Amino acid sequence: MKFQAFRIHNENGRIVARFETLGLDDLNPGDVVIRVEYSDINYKDALAATGAGKILRKYPLVGGIDLAGVVESSQDPRYKPGDPVVITGSALSETHDGGYAEFARVSGDWVIPMPSGLDTRTAMALGTAGFTAALAIHRMEHNGQAPENGPVVVTGATGGVGSIAIDMLAARGYEVIAVTGKAQAADYLTALGAGRVLLRNKIDFGSKPLEAAQFGGAIDNVGGEMLTWLTRTVDFRGNIASIGLTGGAQLNMTVMPFILRGVNLLGINSSATPRDLRLKVWGRIAGDLKPRHLDKIVTRCIPFAELPAAFEPYLKGEVTGRTIVRMR
C-alpha cells in the first residue's frame, strides 16, 4: 500500500519539507494503523515544517501534530477497524511520524476513541488548540477558578487556542476579556463570547510588583511582558494558565503576586498529558466545554495538496482562527 505524506528532512543543517510517496514500512513502528481523514495546522506545525523552530528531535519525520480518522488495522485489542479516533500531540512530529499523511501508524496508548457528539472533522476543528484550551480551563477550575471570581482575560485571542478558550469560557458563564494586536478582529472576538476587547498596544503594563487587580484569572498564549503584566494584575487566588511564548520566553517578575495575592501560575503542556487526564478532558470537550462557534473559528479548510503554502502566514502572525487540512 502506497500513500502520500508530507515529510520533514534535515539536509546538512537545512530543514526541507516535501510530499513523498511512502508505504507503511516507511513509518515508525506502532500497533494501530489509522486511515487519516483530517489534520490541522498549529503554530508548532509551521515552526516544524519551515525550520523556524526546533520541534523535531529526529529526522526524517512526517509532520503534523494532530490527526483524526478511522482505524484501518490494530494489534491493540482496544480498537477495531472502522473505529473513529483522534490523536493530538503525544509524540507526533517530534519523535514519531505525524498526521500529515494518508495513513499513520501509532501507539495504541496515544489513540483516543472519538467522544460521542464529535466526528473526525470536528475533532480537527478543535485539535491541539481546542484540547489545550480545554486542559487550561480544566486545570484552572480544578484549582478553584469559577465565574464568580471575576473576568478571565485571554491573550493571543485570535489564535486557535485563544479563540476556542473564549468560546468555552463564555459557554461556562465566565465574563471574558480578549487581548489582541488586531483591531480589525474585535467583531470576531465578541461573536465568540468576549465581553470586552483590549488592544495590546493600548495596555499600560506598569512596572510595580503588584498593579491594581483587574482579572479573576487568565489564559496566556503570549508570555514575556504580557505574562509578567498578568501576574501583577490577576486578583486574589486567581489562576494564570501559561501556554505560549510568541511574545518571548523571558519572564521578569517578583514573588509578590504569589505570596501576597496567592496567584497560581499553571504551566500547560498538552503534548505530554497523561492518558487518563486526556480522556477526561476530551470528554469535557464533547460535553460542558463543547464550543458553540466552531463555524466562526474554522476560517479555512484546505486540501492536503495546499499544505506547504499555508505555513508562512502562521509565522507572520497573520492567521485568525483555525485551519483544517482535508487529507482525502
Do 193 and 251 lie in a common domain?
yes
What SS3 class is residue 324?
strand
Do 101 and 135 lie in a common domain?
no
Residue 50, pLDDT > 90, answer yes
Which CATH number is 27's domain given? Answer: 3.90.180.10
For 264, list phi and psi in degrees, rounded to 5: -115, 125
Average pLDDT over residues 166-170: 98
Do 171 and 263 lie in a common domain?
yes
pLDDT score recorded for residue 128: 97
Do 24 and 89 lie in a common domain?
yes
Question: For residue 87, which of 75, 73, 105, 74 has the smallest C-alpha distance?
Answer: 105
**Which uninterrupted H or E stretch holds 312?**
helix 312-315
Average pLDDT over residues 242-253: 92
pLDDT score recorded for residue 328: 87
CA dist 153 and 241 (Å) reads 10
pLDDT score recorded for residue 246: 87
Task: Please count the structural domains in the chain.
Answer: 2
Distances, alpha carbon 286 to alpha carbons 23, 89, 152, 213, 291, in Å:
34, 18, 22, 34, 9
What pLDDT, in 10s, does the model give residues 251-282?
A: 999 999 999 999 999 999 999 899 999 999 99
Neighbours of 170 (CB within 10 A): 19
How many Cα neighbours within 13 Å face the side chain of 302? Answer: 15
Is there a domain that residue 222 lies in? yes
Strands of the sheet containing 61-62, edge to edge, are 14-23, 2-11, 61-62
Residue 234, pLDDT > 90, answer yes
- Contact residues for 65 (Cβ-Cβ < 8 A; gap 6+): 42, 44, 45, 48, 88, 89, 92, 93, 94, 98, 99, 128, 271
Do 148 and 110 lie in a common domain?
no
Cell of 138: 480544566
Domain range spanning residue 138?
A: 127-267
CA dist 88 and 128 (Å) reads 5
pTM, two decimals, is 0.96
CB 98 within 8 Å of CB 104: yes
The phi-psi region of residue 12 (left if phi > 0; otherwise alpha if psi is between -120 and 50; otherwise beta) is left
What pLDDT, in 10s, does the model give residues 113-148?
A: 999 999 999 999 999 999 999 999 999 999 999 999
